[in-house]
Amino acid sequence: MMKAKVLVTPKQGILDPQGVAVQHAMSQLGMSCVTEARVGKVIELTFTGENEQKTREKLDQLCQELLSNPVVEDYHILWEGKTA
């Protein structure tokens, strides 16, 4: 089995109202050193199968077409490697 986490965040330059709200709240709670917060989503996936390269390619395609909006979001895939 393989595991991956897909991190989807707003692109730099795209307004992030949730991030602004988090940054403001943190400032109000004494963390004024936080100058920016970006709020996104994490998608955790577990895969079966033998062809690791094909799985990686397919997940990249699905991130572009399904899991993120490429106009306003970026994504990063964090692979956790194979597990027994």
Domain 2-82 class, CATH top level: alpha beta
Q: Domain coordinates of the chain in residue numbers?
A: 2-82
Alpha helices in 1-84 (DSSP H): 17-28, 52-62
Query: What is the reported pTM?
Result: 0.82
- pLDDT at 83 (0 to 100): 47
Model confidence at 4, pLDDT cuts 50, 70, 90, reads: very high
Tokens of 1: 């089995």
Spatial contact of 9 and 80, defined as CB atoms under 8 Å apart: no
62 pLDDT exceeds 80? yes
Angstrom distance (rounded) from CA 42 to CA 57? 19
